[in-house]
Structures are given as structure tokens and as C-alpha cells.
Structure 1
Amino acid sequence: MLLPNLPFILDESPLSYASRLAKFHIGDEVVAFLKDIGVKPQDMAANKEGAIARLAELSSVPLGELHANVAIPVGERRYDLRGELVTAEFLTNPHTMFCPACLAEDDEEAGRRGRWLWTLSVVRTCPRHKIPLMRRAKRKWADPFHELERRVPERGEQLQALIDEAQHRPVSPLQEYAVNRLNGKVGPEWLDAQSLEQAVRATELLGVLLEFGPEQKLPELTADDWDHAGGVGFECTSRGEAGIREALEAQFRKFADASGTPGARKTFGCFYKAIAYSKSLKDPGDIVRILREVITENIAMPGETKVLGETLCERQLHTVASLAKEQNLDSRTLADVLVAASVIPENAPAHYPIPVQKGREVASRVKRMVHVISLPNALACARPLTDQLFEERLITPIYYGKPGTRGHTQKAVDCEEIAMLVGKLHARAGKLNAETDGLVPISKAAEKAKVRAVTVVHMVLGGFLGRVFHLAGKDGVGALRVDPVEVKRHATVCTEGLSPMAAFSALKIPKDIGWRLVDRCPEELSLAVHWITGPDDAHRIPRLNPEVVANFKRNFIHPARIAEHHGLQVGEVVGRLKRRGIRPVLNKAEIGVDFYRASVLDLDLFT
């Protein structure tokens, strides 16, 4: 045992303690002292177990106290630091790190000592003085022993000059987390589930991406840059997977309008490359899974694509081009229908991701499309009736071309929907082998009863008519025969009030907007429908009370009606309303037209 005893200071590294013992006992450098006590200097520099144990034995310092302040090698470039397995990259060696303010205090007390925290690459700010640690690179063969007396020759005024030059800054929250964890404290759940090095590395890399962008070259970053990045990244990783995903998905949105097809390497750049091609860190940890999932949830890739070490079993996303190729469809028509179905936005970039199932559902509808021009043949009826079926929602349109663009909107119908409507009508009909007096086609019966043909269709579907027949050898609506007398008898009941188109026309609004107002019921700005039911209450006929329509017209107005009333252009009306700061009760984004309270007509705006 070495006498007299030199106390071990709890925050110093074993190598620093050995240097202080050398100066105290033999007045020489640490290499000579180590040789004197039978320890190979290179073993002590490498923190080998035997060298640390010998130092503990001679100094009477508990081995556990020395172990706690040193990274013990457990394999090639791997170390055990307070129970955490870290690699050489986690340590500052061969550089010597120090705080000039700490050394100035040491010079006034018991002599200089190296703090064990200075050996950690994540520790870049002195927690006591809140200034950046300084770094000295290895230059001589003896530098691995980090003897501060020799590595930092500055004293007095020179040392004070170093202190004065340092800019004060707070300790990075990532540094605080790492030190607290090594001191046995519990931290954020996701970070604690990673190894310490995985937690630190993932946090710093994410911070680099967020703060410096995907094009940043990692070797060009300074220690201060890494320190700042760690703090930025910690704001996300401390919130676990949700915080990480939020940051990565925000990065995707930056490329939302990019031309071409930006992949993971372009989108995440340095972050992706450091994780995908890591050499120093064999297993980057759970950050790989999160990044992989974010990539596969946002980038369209074919099945069997390898993503960060795992093979994508099947395609999860399509682009318009890949979906069109898979389904053998024209990409322009498909894109228009996808826009109309709200699967992709109008003018979506080529790489816009489409969920596979939803995309295939729309594609199957495109394959089943019957174009409006062909609808009379498909239904075996006249064109006016097909228009009325649209108007009353007995069939629903599939829009394509350029939805919302006047004069260019086209529409079609899903052939399955046509088959379903015809099937319901035929299910109500008995068999008729030949034409007979007293039974006529639907259009003829409507003419005789002075009702719209679609009203007769409603009568059939609602079970109002007892005499409905299907003429053999004919298909579609044109195959039906009904009794015009019976139609006339039910006409009054089935036409009570206004038809939807009559109501919408009175309000001077398109039918699509009118139906949206119906769908909003019972909100204040909406249209209530009076539903007429017959023997089959599964089918309802939509009618509107004239008083409801009149009240709506009295209470609410849109720019086109104002313009017509005052002989102005619609744009001029909208401009005057905006300049006065009058906001719509229901705006165009929600319903398709701006609706205002009709009381705006009382203002001196349009005269």
C-alpha cells in the first residue's frame, strides 16, 4: 500500500488519479510511476481490468469507486461504463478534454485532475461553469495518458484568457440525460429502452437532420454543432416514438411538392445514411424500426423491396403511375377519378402516396365505369330519365376529367350500381310475355299522369304500384310496363311539395351543393327534406316543403344571387363583402359556395 495516502476524488478518472499519485509520491510523470508499481503503462492507458485492480490495491481505494469512473474494455473497441455497453466512438480518446475554469480552481487547491465526465463524447459543456469543454489532440507518444500538467501548459493569465474567451451556454438536455442515466436516474421511457449509445446517437443524428438539413455532411460538423443538434433532437426523442415520428413526417412534408420521386436517401440524407450504413454502431436501436415504418408509410415501393435491412413483404402504397400500370388503366383518367374520390389532391405530385387497398378500389370502379353518353343504352331509357336519376340520387356519378372546372366536368356511373337499380326495379315486376293494352313504358305513364319519369321510378321502388311488369326479351328500365291509371292515382301523394331539383333551382344553386345542404340537416344553414314512403318503407322519395325553401331563401344568400339582384359581377360582390369584413356563415371550402345572411342586402354595399 502506498503511504502516505492520497485521497481519491469521486469525480476523477483512474488515470488522473494515477497521475496525481505519480506527482505526489515520486515527483515524476505517470509512466515512470506505473513502471515502479508493476503496471504496464499501455494497460493503464487502455483502462484494462488488471491495471485498475492493481491501482486499487496499492491506493486502498475501493475497486468499485475506480470502476465507476472508467470505461473498462470488454472486447474490441467495446467498453463497460457503469453497466452501459459503449463503443470507442462514445469516448473522447485520444483527445484530452478539459474545462479551463475547473483547472484554474484545481491550480488553487490540490492540483489538477481529469474528470471522468470529460472522457465522454456527449459531454461538451462543463456542468459547473457552463462553458464549452476544450479539446487537445494527441501529438506525442505519451499523450494517451492525458496528463493535464503537460497537455495543458497554460497557467495563470494564459489560463484565464482561455476562460474569458469561452462563451457561456446551458448544458445540453441530452448531456444531462446521459450523465443522469450513468448516475442511475430514470429518464424518458423510449430513450431508457435503448442502450445509452443508441439513445445518444439517435438523438444527435435526428437533431442534425432537423437543424442542418439532409444535405449536411457529418464530418464537417463541429463539437458545438453536435452539442446543439443533441439538444434539438432531445426535444423529439424525449417524447418517444410519437415525437420521433412527428419530426420525420414533418421532413416528408418538406418534399411534398418536389418533382420526381424523392426517396428516403434524398428526404432524410445524412440521418438515413448514418443509420443505414453505420460502421461504428452495429445496432442503431429502435430508431431503425421507426424510420423504416415512416418510410414504408410514406413512400410507394413495390413488394420485395429491402428497407433498412428488412424486406417489404408486399406493396403498401402506390403512385398514380404504378397503380395505372398494375391495373392496366390510363393514368390520366385514373388520376382524375382519384382526385374526385378525394384519394389524392388536385395537382398532386407524381410521388403522392396512395394506400394500396383504396387505390385498387377506385381503379376497380374505373374499370366498371359506364360513361354518361352510354348510360341511356345501359339503362334502356331516354336521356332525360338518366339525368333525373342523377338529380334524385338514384344513381351517383363518378366524376373525371377536371372536377369542378366548368364545361369540362364529365361523369360516369359504376356498372354495378346500374345493375343494382335495374335489379330492384325488376324484382318489383311480374312477367309479361307480350305488349298489352293498359300497360305502358314508364316514360309514357309519366306523360299521361303529368309527372316526371323519375317519379314513376320512385313509385315502383316504393311499392306504390301493384301492376308492374317486365316485358320478356327486353332489358333495363325500358323493359318495365306500368298502369298509367294507377300512376295517376298516386301522383298527388308522391309529388307533394317540391322536387329536389325544383327547390335547388329556386335557390339558384347547383344540385351537388343543394344535396350537401340536405346532408347538413338539422344544422341552421341546411335544407330539411320531407321523405315520402310507401308500402315498402325501405325506399323514400325526397321532397321539399316550399315554405322551407322560401325561409332558406329569405335568410341566406350567395354572391351569385346578390350579383343577379343588383346587376353586378360576382367578383365585384365578393370584393365588396371582403372589404367590409363580412364573413360568410358557411364558406366555399365547406360547401362549394359562400353563403351569407340575407341581411347583407340591407347594407349600403351594392347600390
Structure 2
Amino acid sequence: MSTLFPLLPFVDDETPLSWAARQAAFHTRDRVLSFLTDLGIPLVDLARGDEPAVLRLCERAGHDPAAVLRNTVSAVGGRRYQLRGLEFAAEFMTGPVTRICPACLDDDLTGARLPGAVLRHRLIWRLAPVRTCPLHGTALRDLRSGRWDDIAHELQAMTSLIDAERRVPGRARVVSPLQAYAVARLEGCPGPAWLDGQDIDQAVRATEMLGALEAFGPKLKASDMSEDMWDAAGRAGWPIVSEGGAAIREYLMARVTASRRKRAAPRAAFGMLHAWLSGSRLSKNPGPIRDMLRDVILETTPLSKGHMLLGKPVTDPHLCSVASIAKAEGLDARTLRNVLQVAGLLSPEEAEQGSNRLVVDYTAARDLIDVVKHAVPVTRLPSMLGASRPLVALLIEIGQLHRVQDHRALASKIGKAVDGRGVKPILRFPETNFQAVDEAPEGFVHLSKSAEKSRARVKFILELMFLGHLKRVYRVTGAHGFAAVVVDPEEIKALLESPPSGLSQDSYFLMG
């Protein structure tokens, strides 16, 4: 395979496409598409940064591919690209727009005998956050011819557009800290830890979005932003993000404080930042900034359970209205207001208002609400368990049922209830442990009668039963709960003579 001669060296600040366009002008005085076609290299493949296309170009040019590959932006699928080991979304680049510095191109053309062979498209001009020339300190310009081959960024085909830009005086400005960070990161230099902890495009976008909020307020839309405004946004966001997560959270909380004076909702308070992070078509992971904003909103804004917040449903709201809590927990609003008063979250006056729009700290009330949801009044237990009131009291005494223990609940009638989560296991105990019979065997009696016949305390009998010491126990079909249980008084008498271990001290004294 023949090699192009003479060699036109690759310059370490340009792109592979720029080098190909310069070779086309140098060797054939023609456009890059025809040149690459003659070499058997599809322009689209080189524009995508396909490694075989780059290696073939280097082979035909007789050039070491290392430097060329280092400047190759490669497509990795799903509108994702890679450069020097860093992956980013397509929006991190300028797309079909060709960004230039007229002063740099003036330098290229100075003394050139063949202008097309020296016009270089710099690699950093491909990057969206690079908007200022670091060499000349002027704003970069964007060119677009409107043809399909704009993807080649072929400066040699844009001479009229370039000449027009060269006649316009440059606008002086220094490179923004965000631009400097992006370029330095591609060179392998470390930056602020919070930024380095995410993809480079996530870091840049978060900085610009926070900066846009700071510089232009919450009412401006992202679609109304110019490149100069994005540059200003990056400058405004840098002091915030460079200090790390704590500073970003502090800034977001300050925005909440400022918006409260205007009674603004999160969407209005955070403007395009909120719109960006809550977009239903957000196909790219925005990075940690989304969870940070979500946490701030959760902590400071009344929300209802299930509300979609920045792409995820709210499962554990912090602040909620009485109405939304009542709906989520399935409680009567009046009962809930009483509970919130017991918890100290509503004053007696607020509870009496009857307003369901009152906002409280849901997290502080959740434990007590859980108690209320499962509380069962003691007066209901006899019918639920098929037991007498004294038997229910003994079940509580021996620890088979548990009273509500929350000290706040004890200030209300809830304190006279038991935790209903223990009722079903108690009901299942006879069903799973005792054989069912149609009639009680001869000599077998119900629990209360067995105490009389055996002269043992009912507490003693219950403890024997729950600890598994009673072997002759049956459940009569057709009866409910403990009303169905029958035991053998003779077995109880035998155990009274030699009580097993594990019983409470006062349970097995003989009845008088």
C-alpha cells in the first residue's frame, strides 16, 4: 500500500478530521470527502472516531497513530462519546456547529503558501463548554453552513464564513474557571472533588444550571439562553460547585428561604434547574445534583406520598398537610389531628381549627401514627379473641398481648389499647397447636372451669399452655378463639405438684 508523500505532520491540538482536511488540501487541492473516499475511508466513520478509520488514515499518511488516537472523539453508542478515557453525552460537544477563533486562524494563515493545508480545527473547539480562546482571550464564534457534511468541521469549505468572522472585532474576556477545569480534566489534571466524582459532562452541566439560576434567576428558560449566557452561567456556578456538596446544599437551601418570602413552589423557586432535573424526557443521568435538589425539596416542601419528584415517587415525605397524611395512612382527618396534637405537632387551637391544610413534620409523627393505625381498644378484645375480660387482662399480663407503650399515646385513649399486630398470632395459636374435635372429650372443660376444678390460677394454666407443657388440649369446632379451647384438669393438677421451669413466681400458688 502506497504512502502519501510528502508527510504532512499531525499537530497535537487538532482533530483527526482537521488533519484529514489539511491533507486533502495539501495532496489533492480537493475536499476531504473525495480525499477520504480515494483512501477507502468513509467520512462518517472518521467523524464517529472509529478506530479502524483513524488507523487506516495514519497508515496511508505514514504517521504514528498514538497522537491522532489521543485526539479522537469516539462514539460508544446511545449518543455517548469517549475522549482520553472520559465518557460523556453528545451534548458535551458542539454537534454540527463548527466553533472557531478568528485570531487563531489568522495565525495559521500568516505566511502560508497553501492556506487550506494550514487551517486547523482545534480539538478543544469541539467541546461545548469551551467558549473563549485561551491564547487570544476572545469569545469563540460558531459557524454552520447547513449541509450534511458540517459533521466534518472542514474549515477549508467555510472560507467565506471565516472571512466574515475575521472582519468582526473580537470580544475580549478571560477563560472561565469551568472551561479551564474541563480542558484540564481531559489532560488528566485533578479538580474539585465533587466535580471529579462524576462524569465530565455531568459536572459541567450541573455547574452551568446552578450558575444560570444564580446569574439570571428562576424565570429564564434554558431555551432562551445564548452561548454568552451559558458562559456567564458557568462563571456564576463555579464558586458554588468548587466548594463541594455542602456549599451546593447551602445554596439550594438559601434559594428555598428566598422563595418562601414569595410563597414560590419548588418549580418556581429553582426555575430551569428544576425543569431540567424533572423533565420526563431526561434521557441522560444528570449526576448527583438531582438527588441533592430532591433531598432539599423533600426536607423543606410539603409533599404527599406517591408524588413524583424529580423522576421518582415520594415514599417518605418529611413535610405534609394533614389531608395528604390522612389519605396516605387511611385515617380519619379528625383522628389524625388529635394524634398530631398528642405528638406535640399541633397546638390545641390548631387541632380545633378543623383545617386539613395544616402542614406538619410527617417524620416526627410517623411512629405515633403507626401506633394508632394498629391500636386495638381493650374493650374490643373479648369478642375478637373469644375470651372474657379477665382472660384478656391475663394475656396482657403474661406478655402475649402488648399495650401501647408510646409515652405520648398514653396521654390519650390510645394508651388504653393494645398493639393490634399481636392479635392475629394469638388467634392462630389455638388453630395451629391444638387438635380440632367436634365435642370436648369426657372430663375436659373450658379454661375458666379448669381453674375451678384444678384449684390452679388461670394465669398458671395459660403459661403452661403457651410454653407447651400442656399436652392434652383440644379445640372444639364451632366455637371462636379461646372459647373453643378445652383442657384436662387432671393434667393441670399433676403439673401443680411439680411445676415446670419458666413460670412466673406468682402463677402456680393454689387457689384458696
By how many angstroms is 1:85 displaced?
1.3
Give percent identity, aligned residues only: 38
Choose the corresponding residue for 2:128, options 117, 121, 126. 121
| 1:309-341 deviations in Å (ceiling 9; x for gaps) | 33333332235776894755499x99x996899
Give the letter aligned to residue 131 of structure 1. T
> Which amino acid counterpart does residue 228 of structure 1 have in structure 2?
A
Q: Contact 1:299–1:353 (CA<8 Å) still a contact in 2?
A: no
Q: CA deviation at 1:284?
A: 0.9
**Change in 2 beyond 3 A, CA 1:46/1:309:** same
Matching residue of 2:292: 290
Once the two structures are superposed, the pairs formed by residues 227-242 of structure 1 within 5 Å of their partners are 227-242=231-246
* Counterpart for residue 249 of structure 1: 253
CA shift, 1:185, in A, is 0.4
Once the two structures are superposed, the pairs formed by residues 161-240 of structure 1 within 5 Å of their partners are: 161-162=167-168, 164=169, 166-240=170-244
Instruction: Name the count of aligned residue pairs.
Output: 356
User: Is this contact kept in 2: 1:87–1:280, CA < 8 A?
Assistant: no
Q: Is the 8 A contact 1:317 1:354 kept in 2?
A: yes
Corresponding position of 2:455: none
Stretch deviating more after TM superposition (146-155 or 229-238): 146-155
- For residues 284 and 326 of structure 1, the distance between their equivalents in structure 2, rounded to whole angstroms, comes to 43
| Alignment partner of 2:273 out of 271, 283, 289 | 271
2:16 to 9, 14, 17: 14
Name the SS of the counterpart of 1:230 in structure 2.
helix
User: What amino acid is aligned across from residue 126 of structure 2 in structure 1?
Assistant: T
Correspondences of 1:414-425 after superposition (within 5 Å): none
SS in 2 for 1:79: strand
Are positions 1:139 and 2:143 aligned together?
A: no
Kindly provide the amino acid, as one letter, of the partner of residue 236 in structure 2. V
Q: Take 1:135 and 1:351, find their aligned partners in 2: how far apart are those partners?
A: 53
CA contact (8 A) 2:303 2:320 kept: yes
| Alignment TM-score, normalising by the size of structure 2 | 0.62
Asked if 1:78 corresponds to 2:80, the answer is yes
Question: 2 CA distance for matches of 1:113 and 1:154?
Answer: 15
The equivalent residue for 1:108 is 110
Q: Which amino acid aligns with 1:48?
A: D
Match of 1:85, SS? strand
Change over 3 Å in CA distance of 1:329–1:44 after alignment to 2: closer
Q: State the superposition RMSD in angstroms.
A: 3.5
> Are 1:143 and 1:151, in contact at CA under 8 Å, matched by a contact in 2?
no
TM-aligned CA distance change 1:217 to 1:34, over 3 Å:
same
Partner deviation per Cα, 1:81-125 (whole Å, 9 max, x = no partner): 111112221111211110001011111155210001001111111
Q: Corresponding residue for 2:7?
A: 5
CA distance in 1, matches of 2:256, 2:358: 11
Within the candidate set 331, 355, 361, 1:355 is matched to 361
The CA deviation at 1:144 is 2.6
2:468 aligns with none
User: Secondary structure of the residue that 1:209 maps to in structure 2?
Assistant: helix
Give 1:215's aligned amino acid.
K
* Partner in structure 1 of residue 320 of structure 2: 318
Mapping 1:41-60, distance limit 5 Å:
41-60=43-62
Give the 3 Å change call, closer, same or farther, for CA 204–159 of structure 1 in structure 2. closer
Is the Cα–Cα contact under 8 Å of residues 68 and 81 in structure 1 kept in the other structure?
A: yes
What do residues 15-66 of structure 1 show as CA deviations (whole Å, max 9, x unaligned)? Answer: 1101111111122221221122111223223332222111121223332311
Q: After alignment, is 276-285 or 201-210 more displaced?
A: 276-285
* 2: CA distance, partners of 1:264 / 1:155: 45
The reply to whether residue 38 of structure 1 matches residue 40 of structure 2 is yes
Cα separation, 1, equivalents of 2:311 and 2:146: 40
Structure 1-normalised TM-score? Answer: 0.53
